[in-house]
């Protein structure tokens, strides 16, 4: 069982909430309580919980997430009893490569080669350690970049698709709608209207 799987079981018992790991910030404090998961200088992503209507409860969620992030970071950095079998440093390096090179046509095989693991071993370790698949992590990093560009630039949607690392506009549209429940054009219009309506 991966680190995040174990933590998720704890959170279900403590708060009856579903813990999620995402590679980018959601920036919606009324909806999510989130904390960055860093291991050394590497930002892996964010742990998030659905927010409560109670500020006091949200502070408790935040405090708990701070402790969880610290414990996970310590566990990933600690010496392994199985003579390097888990190899967390290589998983961390793989995550950093994805975050650095998501705009390129980077594959599991490419990253596995860079961290000196077989693609099967890296895939298994990635999921066991982070609780998310390699491809899902890559997809979310790319979508995070696309959301940022849709919200804060006038770049064409086709340009955003390619600059975010997607291989075609149709692939981008399909994955974006699956993640957000709306097309990139609808998302841009919604974000623009939110800015206009803001006080």
pLDDT along the chain (199 residues), means of 10: 64 71 78 86 85 87 86 67 52 86 89 93 84 85 90 93 94 92 91 60
What pLDDT does 150 receive? 92
What pLDDT does 175 receive? 93
Residue 162 domain-assigned?
A: yes
Residue 28 domain-assigned?
A: yes
What pLDDT does 83 receive? 36
What pLDDT does 29 receive? 73
What pLDDT does 86 receive? 44
The set of residues, in sequence order, having a beta carbon less than 8 Å from that of 25 and lying 6+ positions away, is 34, 46, 144
Q: Which residues of 108-142 are buried (b: 16+ CB within 10 A; e: fewer)?
A: beebbeebebeeeebbebbbebbbbebebbbbbbb
Residue 82 domain-assigned?
A: no
* Whether 145 and 105 share a structural domain: no
What pLDDT does 184 receive? 94
Domain boundary (55, 77, 99) is at 77
What pLDDT does 19 receive? 82
What pLDDT does 82 receive? 42
What is the number of structural domains in the chain? 3
38 DSSP β-pair partners: 43
Domain that holds residue 143: 136-197
pLDDT tens profile 105-146: 889 999 999 999 999 999 988 887 777 789 988 988 899 889
What pLDDT does 79 receive? 53
* Whether 61 and 38 share a structural domain: yes
Q: What whole-number distance in Å separates Cα of residue 67 and Cα of residue 135?
A: 28
What pLDDT does 199 receive? 47
Residue 83 domain-assigned?
A: no
What pLDDT does 13 receive? 62
What pLDDT does 10 receive? 66
């Amino acid at each position: 069982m991966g680190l995040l799987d174990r933590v998720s079981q704890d959170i279900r018992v403590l708060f009856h909430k579903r813990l999620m790991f995402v590679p980018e910030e959601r920036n919606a404090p009324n909806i999510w309580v989130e904390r960055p998961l860093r291991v050394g200088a590497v930002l892996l992503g964010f742990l998030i919980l659905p927010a409560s209507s109670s500020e006091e409860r949200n502070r408790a969620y935040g405090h708990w997430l701070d402790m969880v992030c610290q414990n996970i970071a310590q566990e990933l950095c600690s010496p392994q009893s199985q003579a390097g079998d888990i190899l967390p440093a290589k998983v961390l390096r793989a995550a950093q490569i994805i975050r650095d090179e998501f705009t390129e046509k980077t594959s599991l095989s490419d990253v596995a080669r860079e961290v000196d693991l077989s693609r099967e071993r890296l895939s298994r370790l990635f999921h066991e350690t982070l609780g998310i698949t390699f491809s899902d992590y890559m997809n979310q990093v790319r979508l995070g970049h696309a959301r940022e560009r849709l919200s804060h630039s006038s770049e064409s949607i086709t340009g955003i698709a390619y600059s975010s690392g997607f291989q075609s506009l149709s692939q981008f549209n399909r994955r974006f709608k699956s993640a957000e429940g709306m097309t990139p054009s609808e998302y841009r219009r919604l974000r623009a209207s939110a800015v206009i309506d803001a006080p």
